[in-house]
Amino acid sequence: MAGSTLFDLTGKVAAVIGGASGIGEAVARGAAQLGARVTILDANEEAARSVASAIGGDAARLDIRRAGEVQDAFAGIAAAHGQLDIVICTPSINVRKPIVRYEEAEFDRVVDVNLKGSFNVLQAAGRLMTTQKARGGSIVIFSSIRSQVVEPGQSVYAMTKAGIVQLVRTAAVEFGAHGVRVNAIGPGVVETPLTAPIKANAAWYAAYANKSALGRWARAEEMVGPTLFLASDAASYVTGTILFADGGWTAIDGRFAPPGM
């Protein structure tokens, strides 16, 4: 494969879930620039249609908590374009609370979106892509550094992000014989509308920036390359893994530099 075409998505049909804003929007725009026909699926249909219009794609409302909706959305894309090659799922929510103060409704809400929603996406994409014979496909689900490392108040969120990694590994094993690859992305801290409240707290913002090896937060656009690498033929032998795009966060065990270092 020529180096100039490794990341080319021309002729590919992609569904980007959560593509109306933040990381999902950046990924949707990047996929379109690389030649993919992109459908943006998002709970905010108006915003999804705005982004789709800007990139020459399609859009529809989707609640990933509802398995039937996810299945119908993917079937609709495949019917309209004759195939579905790439599925990227970015949405998640978090309720920051100590374990002893967590309420059942909060637990259910986080698990429903992050874990059940990701399962619904994997299941629906797998059912479709494993029947596409020689076409196969690539599924990329967003996990987090919280699948590996935690802090106070992150119990349920971290649990779901770790669960996503195991779902991805299992799906990779089950779908691999059909040429379908399944991987996860593990972002660190990324500047998006959802993290704006943290950014507004100077001490909190600085603590997160200083935890990474690069000493800063990521921009949403910096998640595009890792995500589309996994989606593209450049990663044709990569499946069942998590790619950390965390600025070195998970590589660091504390920030103290011993004398003479």
Are 9 and 36 contacting, i.e. CB atoms less than 8 angstroms apart? yes
Q: Please tell me the distance from the alpha carbon of residue 94 to that of residue 102, in angstroms, as a whole number.
A: 12
Is residue 157 part of the annotated active site? The answer reads yes
Q: Among 102, 157, 208, 237, which one carries the catalytic annotation? A: 157
User: Residue 217 gets which letter from DSSP?
Assistant: P
Ordered alpha helix ranges (H), 176-201: 196-199
User: Which tokens go with 55?
Assistant: 């990139």
- Grouping H, G, I as helix, E, B as strand and the rest as coil, residue 51 is helix
Angle, CA 20 vertex, CA 16 and CA 26 arms, to 5°: 70
Report the catalytic residues.
157
